[in-house]
Amino acid sequence: QVHLQQWGAGLLKPSETLSLTCGVFGGSLSGYYWSWIRQTPGKGLEWIGEIKVSGSSNYNPSLKTRISILLDTSKNQVSLDLSSVTAADTALYFCSRGSPNASDIWGQGTLVTVSS
C-alpha cells in the first residue's frame, strides 16, 4: 500500500524559502507524475507543479519563477522549494501521485503560515 508522508517547516517569515519534502513509501517514483497542490479557504485549490522520473516537469506559470520541484530517487522523495514567500503563500500544501487523469494518492498535508 503506497502512502505519502510530508514534512517541512510550517512557519516562515516573508522573503524566506518554503521547503517541503514528500516521502513515498511502499512504491516507486517511476511511472507517475508527482505533484504539489495547495489549498486556502479563500482561493481554494491551486496546482503548483509536477515532475516525473523521466525529468519532465510542469509548473504553474504564476509561480514558475519561484518554484523548484525535484525528485530524489535514492531516497524515494519529492521536494518543493518556493522562494520569496509572502502572506499570499500561506496555505495547506499537499503532495500527490498522479497522471493527467487523476491524483490517486495524497500526502497528509502541511500547513504553512507566512507571517512576520
Partner 1 sequence: QSALTQPASVSGSPGQSITISCTGTSSDVGNYDYVSWYQQHPGKAPKLMIYDVSNRPSGVSNRFSGSKSGNTASLTISGLQAEDEADYFCISYTSSNTRYVFGSGTTVTVL
Binding site for partner 1 (CB under 8 A): 43-47, 50, 58, 60-62, 94, 100-109
- Strands 67-72, 77-82: pairing is antiparallel
Are 37 and 45 within 8 A, CB to CB?
yes
> Which of residues 23 and 109 has its CB atom nearest to partner 1 in the complex?
109
> Which of residues 46 and 81 has its CB atom nearest to partner 1 in the complex?
46
Q: Within 10 A of 64 (CB to CB), how many other CB atoms are there?
A: 11
Shortest separation between residue 74's beta carbon and partner 1, angstroms = 26
> Which of residues 34 and 94 has its CB atom nearest to partner 1 in the complex?
94
Shortest separation between residue 62's beta carbon and partner 1, angstroms = 8
Shortest separation between residue 23's beta carbon and partner 1, angstroms = 14
